[in-house]
Amino acid sequence: MTAMMPKSLKRQLIVRFLSFQVGVPFVLSLIFIVWLNYTADDGVVTAPKFATIAETAIHRDLGGRLLIEETPELAALRRTTPDFWFVARSGRGEIVGTGSVPLGYRKLARYFKTGHSLSADGATSGQIPLAVIWRISGPAGEFKVLGKGDLFSATFVVLLMSNLLLLPVFGVIAIVTIAATPWIVRRALAGVAVIAQAARGIDIDRRGSRLPLTDIPSEVVPLVDAVNGALERLDQGYERHQRFIADAAHELRTPIAILQAKIEASEPSAIAHGLSRDVARLATLTEQLLDIQRADRGAPMASVDLASLAQRVVGDLAPLVIASGGELALAVTRTGCVLADGPAIERVLANLVQNAIEHGGQIVTIHVDSPVVEVEDDGPGIPVEERKQVFEPFYRLRARQTGAGLGLSLVRQIMDRHGGRVGVHEAPNGGTIMRLELADVGKG
């Protein structure tokens, strides 16, 4: 299923603001047009077509009498306007006309004034006028012409001019909206960036952290409260889990110790040896569970001499390694102190040595080159593709391998708490080198 791309809040606000700014004036203009159509009483008289045509169509015959010549323009106007008509009056009172002139206008010809529109035959205010008076000058002299004219609505002119004048205003508003909206969104959601930064810092080693509620919009507060509530429930669940592990490990230590003592007191035999080895693994698992709980709880850091610490680990584990048929050696290249939790680092080295012996290593060497410690074995090694996975809890290289898969997970957890690193490398003899890098006192 393809994940949907998140929608930009800035883009949505810009589009909606511009739609609102354009839509509202548009709707108001429509309302204004409707209102003017119902309320407007008059319009603007335009220069009628008949006036221009009458200038060239009115002539005088040889006797000086007025007549109308059927010019091409006049013929074309008759075809396009079947009800075309006009009446012309000269300065001497002569009258000539063409078309179906309404009876009322024939009587008005001697009285009309130029520039006026006239209504007749019951025409009411607000209707298109039936006649227009205009002054013309042609070959036959000057005339006042009364004819069928047009009334151009002033409403259209007002709306057109107002819209043309408002276009620059709308342009400025659009530019301001496009430029100001991202800035407004950034200012309003500045606290969200702080929340995101705080959320990125929350992990398993920084429990108890909560997202801040300061400087954020009130609309975002419910979301932050819900996330903080989820973090609180996760912390509580993790604490219950840790308490269960610690309680279970503590409860197992006593029966394991009793069982181990009884096996040691029994007669030596192959069965007793096998049981002793299995109980030792169970005891190791119990201690690893307790180590996880201790590592999670943490301890104060202090200056630790790595060479002395490694000597103690070799002294404690050498009998067990020799008993299993292996060898354990210590090589110190450079001594020095590191800032660490001494007991935790001892457990790390002990886990690495035990892992090396359990996974086929016969010769295990601890190299100290402060602040780096390496545990090298001559075992089969760890495949490159699995070198990151071995640090995951309960991960085992082989399905039938002994152990619970917690040793290396515990090592990484302790090194992370120290701000150090642990890595897997291939040894020159084909085995494995587990490298620990700590911070020395001078750099701490």
Distance CA 259, CA 279 (A): 8
Does position 367 have pLDDT exceeding 90, yes or no?
Answer: yes
SS3 per residue for 265-314: HCCCCHHHHHHHHHHHHHHHHHHHHHHHHHHHHCCCCEEEEHHHHHHHHH
CATH code at 202-297: 1.10.287
Gap between the Cα atoms of 355 and 377, Å rounded: 10
* Residue 45 confidence (pLDDT) above 70: no
How high is the pLDDT of residue 6? 58
| Position with higher pLDDT, 324 vs 44 | 324
| Structure confidence by residue, pLDDT tens digits, 89-137 | 888 878 888 887 776 665 665 555 444 444 443 333 334 345 778 888 8
Q: CA dist 341 to 182, 295, 347, 409, 437, Å? A: 50, 10, 10, 17, 14
Return the closest-CA partner of residue 26 out of 208, 205, 132, 170: 170
Q: Number of C-alpha atoms within 13 angstroms, CB side, residue 86?
A: 30
If you average pLDDT over each of 71-75, 165-169, 258-262, 297-301, which comes out highest? 71-75
Residues 215 and 195: beta-carbon distance below 8 Å:
no
Q: State yes or no: pLDDT of 313 exceeds 60.
A: yes
Q: What pLDDT does 296 receive?
A: 64
Q: Are 339 and 441 in contact (CB under 8 A)?
A: yes
Domain 300-443, CATH: 3.30.565.10
Give the single-character DSSP code of 440.
B
- Give the Cα separation of 210 and 202 in Å (integer): 8
* Short-list 68, 69, 70, 130, CA closest to 95: 68
Q: How confident is the model at residue 153 (pLDDT cuts 50, 70, 90)?
A: low
pLDDT band at residue 163 under the 50/70/90 scheme: low
**Positive/negative CA dihedral, 409, 411, 412, 417:** positive
**φ/ψ (deg, to 5) at 231:** -65, -40
Q: How much of the chain, in percent, has pLDDT values that exceed 70? A: 77
What pLDDT is stored for residue 1 in this prediction?
44
CA within 13 Å, CB half, 74: 16
Whether the predicted pLDDT of 283 surpasses 70: yes
Tell me which residue of 207, 285, 208, 291 sits closest to 246, measured CA to CA.
291
Extents of the domains making up the chain: 9-42+157-194, 49-152, 202-297, 300-443
Q: What is the arithmetic mean of pLDDT over 142-147?
A: 84
Question: Which residues, 6+ apart, have CB-to-CB distance to 238 below 8 Å?
Answer: 204, 207
Q: What is the Cα–Cα distance from 71 to 56, expressed in whole angstroms?
A: 8
Measure Cα distances from 363 to 86, 305, 387 in Å: 126, 24, 21
Burial of 361 (0-12, 13-18, 19+ CB in 10 A): buried
Comparison of pLDDT for 69 and 300, the residue scoring more: 69
Which pLDDT band holds residue 366 (cuts at 50, 70, 90)? very high
Is residue 132 within 8 A of residue 150, CB to CB? The reply is yes
Across the chain, mean pLDDT equals 76
The pTM assigned to this predicted structure is 0.47
Lowest-confidence region among 51-65, 69-83, 264-278: 264-278
- Span 368-377, pLDDT tens digits: 998 999 999 8
Express each pLDDT in 208-265 by its tens digit.
788 888 777 777 788 888 888 888 888 888 778 777 777 777 777 778 788 878 887 7
Query: So what's the pLDDT on residue 127?
Result: 40
